[in-house]
Amino acid sequence: MTGSRFADGSGLNRADKVSAGLLTGLLAKAADPQHPELRPVLTGLPVAGFTGTLRARNAGTSPAAGLVRAKTGTLTGVNSLSGTVVDSTGRLLAFAFLTANSPGAEGAEKGLAKLAAAVAGRSVGGPPEGSPTYG
C-alpha cells in the first residue's frame, strides 16, 4: 500500500495512485485457493477476444484470446491493463501494465494488448524466489 492514494471510489480522480505491484498482489490474492470469497474478482473480469472492454482486443488468432482476463483503465494520457493470464505451461499469472503520458489511447491500448499476448504466448519460467504459487 506504500505510495497508494485513493482520492475517490471511482478511480477517475487524477490524485488516485496505485502501483503495478499493488494491482498484481490483489489479483494474486484473489487467485489464492485460501480465499474463495475473492474468486468473483477474477471471474468477473472481461475475457480477451470475447467479452466487455476486451471483446475486440486480442481477438482471433492472438495467443491471448480466451486466456487473458483483465480490467482496462483509460484516462487522458493514462492507460492500464491489469488481470490474469494462463501461460503456455498452464500457470495462472497476474499482471499489471501501466502507462503515463500516452499520446493517444488507441496506440496505448494496442501496446498493452500486445504485452498481455506476449505473456499468454510463452512460458516465462518459474515464479520468482519466495513468490506464492497457486494451482
Domains and CATH numbers, the chain: 20-120 (3.40.710.10)
**Start-to-end CA span in the chain (Å):** 26
Task: Give 15 or 113, the one with higher predicted confidence.
Answer: 113
Range 16-38 average pLDDT: 92
pLDDT digits (tens, 9 = 90+) for 77-121: 889 999 999 877 888 899 999 998 888 778 888 889 889 888 887
Q: Convert 110-127 to b/e letters by CB count within 10 Å (16 or more is b).
A: eebbeebbebbeeeeeee
Please state the pTM of the whole predicted model.
0.81
pLDDT digits (tens, 9 = 90+) for 33-74: 999 999 999 999 999 999 998 888 877 888 788 889 999 988
CA distance 55 to 21: 26
Residues near 57 by Cβ (< 8 Å), separated by ≥ 6?
48, 49, 64, 109, 113
